[in-house]
Structure 1
Amino acid sequence: MEAFKKNDSEKLVKALAKAIRLHYKIIEIPERIKSHPNDLDSVVCYICMQTNHGKWNECIPQASLNFPDDEYLALTAAYFLFNYKDDTNAALNHLENVLKSQKCFK
């Protein structure tokens, strides 16, 4: 609320992204999300709030490449591949590649 009252869009988006990771339906999408495609928090907000899964097809693969260490995007990409593309092998391969790239697993 403090970031909202101060009209601080950067802090607001960061707070929204944290809230989305807890429960994405409790907030509204600010227009800033679409205007910052390379900001991880904006991408997370956009993906979570997007109900048109056709747009997921455009956004998730690129987001996963841009932010390979983000657990939320890794799980979302696997979920998308498994449920909407009906490709279990691709989902498992994606998660395996993410785990291999994680520093703690090297």
Structure 2
Amino acid sequence: MLSRIYQILSILDDPSLIFIGVFRIDGDPILVRCKDKIILLKIVDWLDGHIKASLDMIVAEELGEIGTKFKDLFVRLVPLSKTLVLVMIANEEMSLYKFEMDISSLRSALS
């Protein structure tokens, strides 16, 4: 299963896409691809505390995903199931349309 997820995540190779990860609902990373180790540490630390709360909000308010922006980074948390979350982070150089299309294609491939 992990090798299949890794193959799917490896399809996207945009230089503006700096982080792709699949996390459990408790915040533990299952598989992560990141282009910058320092950013990786900051992101995983932040996600550890926010994934469960974000998923609860998605379910309670019947949202399809949650997105936010940190400085020059776009962040999307997309539920794949009741226990898995896809996290994608891109810098602002990436077209938002392409970012949304990448999220949509990964969501359908992983679901």
More helix by share: 1
Name the TM-score, length of structure 2 as normaliser: 0.26
Name the TM-score, length of structure 1 as normaliser: 0.27
Considering only CA atoms, is the larger Rg found in Structure 1 or Structure 2?
Answer: 1
More strand by share: 2
